Structure 1
Amino acid sequence: MNRLPQIRYVLLAMTLSLSSAIVLKADEAKSKPVTVSKILKVTHQIEIEESFPPNLYVKAIGEVPTGGYTNVKLERAIYVTPPKDGIQDYFLKAIPPSGPAITVISQVEAIDLWHGFPGWVKGIRMHGVKDGIVVIKFEPDQKPVRRRFTGGHVGDFAHPASFEKALQAAIKKLNEALYAGGVKDASVKWKVVKTSGQIGGIADLNQITVTIVAERQPAWPKKKQPQRIRQQKKPAVSK
């Protein structure tokens, strides 16, 4: 019996299996995330809630050589022993395109939320492959900058004051202050902290006031306190 056709079939099957394995390994290599080439911008926000410890938001924008990068994320370095300088290392990573991509320098970004970050963290260090390693040191006892915005709505007997319209008025003031300081990509979290109203009386009042507290990322610049001018005491005049 001629076994040559069977041997050829087995060799062909082995060749196909080997080729498939090589392709799979190549695809796996391509699908691994890599550290982006360059760090362009890093922002952070410390959110102090009623519970302790606080939360840390970190946002990074990086530069990649082509389009098509996916699964962008921030990775925190894990230490056996916390670094003595208190600086937490971050790496901005993304998966490069597996096929043809537009050869245009592009930007990628990612956000990391660290719930209850430890007290030893005094700053962050964002790593890129080539340029733009960014180090940010936290200010001592840094606290979030919060602003209050109040809106009101006046109604009448036929059309009572509306909570929704009072809230819209407060949010409108918030939107007007959102990009203060020339910030273009600001985001904000807000919550209602006070609601009050008044009805009746001689003037037949019917009104609602809503106050919200907002916290921006990046933080609003702190308002400068007016300097107090000390008045010099006039010399006593002898009679």
Structure 2
Amino acid sequence: MNEFKQSVCALLILILANCYLNSLYAANPPAEPETVKKIKQVAIQVLATNPPQLFVAVSGEVPSGGFTDVTLTRVSYSKPPEDGIQDYYLKALPPTQPAIAVISEVKARDRWIGMPSWVKGIRVHGVEEGVKEKLFKDVQQRARPRVRRFKGISNSGSYDEAIKAALAKLNKALADDGVRDATATWKVSSVQGEVGGITGLNQLSVIIIANRQPAWKTQPDSAKTPPTAEQKQEKSE
């Protein structure tokens, strides 16, 4: 009987303790990160690596000290935005206890490995002095994705046969630079045919241009280097 009473008492103590903790939690809910009101400075750097990388550094102002867990959050999209601008939010956890009432600075960084080719710049959101935008065209030594051309030929005048031959070359080039599981966007650049002659020539050629994701090896816009042997070969394909 005594053991039963002890068990009941222990259970009641646990229930009361749990109710007390729940009341404390309800009275003082955990703080949520909030968007920094003022964005002071945004710096970006585009690295022409394979895959391309984007470094973003942002600083902002908060109304007091004590802000912690500062993060720079990249927005996810179901489809790329039409303007090609990637949105970011600078957020920080406000103080839960009295803090010094002095305007303070918070900073955060983001490194984006495998930045897609549609990104033309970034936009960092605050609240009051809300938005700062940086375009890649304003950044020196910006690297552009390398576009390659592939030529397919049909000696029977078949467009389907020529386009398949060009795509076969593109599919083979997807694995260049040791890249696996690459994809590419392509479009037809030109179609040309040649017929006649004693042999009854009926040749059709198709040239496609392609852009791989991740990009093939890139070259800065400002670089003025002569074409390599590989590039000359691509032009002749």
- State the TM-score, normalizing by the size of structure 2: 0.51
Report the alpha carbon displacement of residue 8 of structure 1 after superposing the two structures with TM.
Answer: 10
Equivalent residue letter for 2:130? G
- 1:8-61 residue CA offsets vs partner (Å, 9 max, x unmatched): 99887655423312433565531x221111111111010112x2x311000100
For structure 1, which runs of at least 5 residues remain unmatched after alignment? 1-6, 146-221, 223-239
Q: Find the residue that maps to 1:29 and give its secondary structure.
A: coil
* Greater fraction of residues in strand: 2
Answering whether residue 18 of structure 2 is matched by residue 17 of structure 1, we say yes
Query: 2:64–2:100: 8 Å Cα contact kept in structure 1?
Result: yes
**2:162: which partner in 1?**
none
Q: Find the residue that maps to 1:17 and give its secondary structure.
A: helix
Given the alignment, which residue of 78, 81, 103 partners 1:80? 78
Query: 2:43–2:58: 8 Å Cα contact kept in structure 1?
Result: yes
Given the alignment, which residue of 126, 135, 138 partners 1:137? 135
Matches of 1:140 and 1:40 in 2, distance apart?
Answer: 18
**2:118: which partner in 1?**
120
Matches of 1:141 and 1:66 in 2, distance apart?
Answer: 33
**1:44: which partner in 2?**
44
Give the number of equivalent residue pairs.
142
- State the TM-score, normalizing by the size of structure 1: 0.51
Equivalent residue letter for 1:69? F
Equivalent residue letter for 2:104? S
For structure 2, which runs of at least 5 residues remain unmatched after alignment? 1-7, 144-221, 223-237
Matches of 2:48 and 2:63 in 1, distance apart?
Answer: 38
User: What are the within-5 Å matches in structure 2 for residues 158-177 of structure 1?
Assistant: none
Q: Find the residue that maps to 2:73 and give its secondary structure.
A: strand
Provide closer, same or farther for how the CA distance between residues 26 and 73 of structure 1 changes in structure 2, counting only shifts above 3 A: farther
Q: Find the residue that maps to 1:139 and give its secondary structure.
A: helix
Provide closer, same or farther for how the CA distance between residues 88 and 19 of structure 1 changes in structure 2, counting only shifts above 3 A: same
Query: 1:48–1:143: 8 Å Cα contact kept in structure 2?
Result: no
Query: 1:73–1:92: 8 Å Cα contact kept in structure 2?
Result: yes
Matches of 1:140 and 1:92 in 2, distance apart?
Answer: 22
Equivalent residue letter for 1:44? I
Matches of 2:129 and 2:138 in 1, distance apart?
Answer: 28
User: What are the within-5 Å matches in structure 2 for residues 202-221 of structure 1?
Assistant: none
Q: Percent identity?
A: 45
Matches of 2:115 and 2:84 in 1, distance apart?
Answer: 12
- Pairwise CA RMSD of aligned residues? 3.3
Equivalent residue letter for 2:39? I
Provide closer, same or farther for how the CA distance between residues 110 and 24 of structure 1 changes in structure 2, counting only shifts above 3 A: same
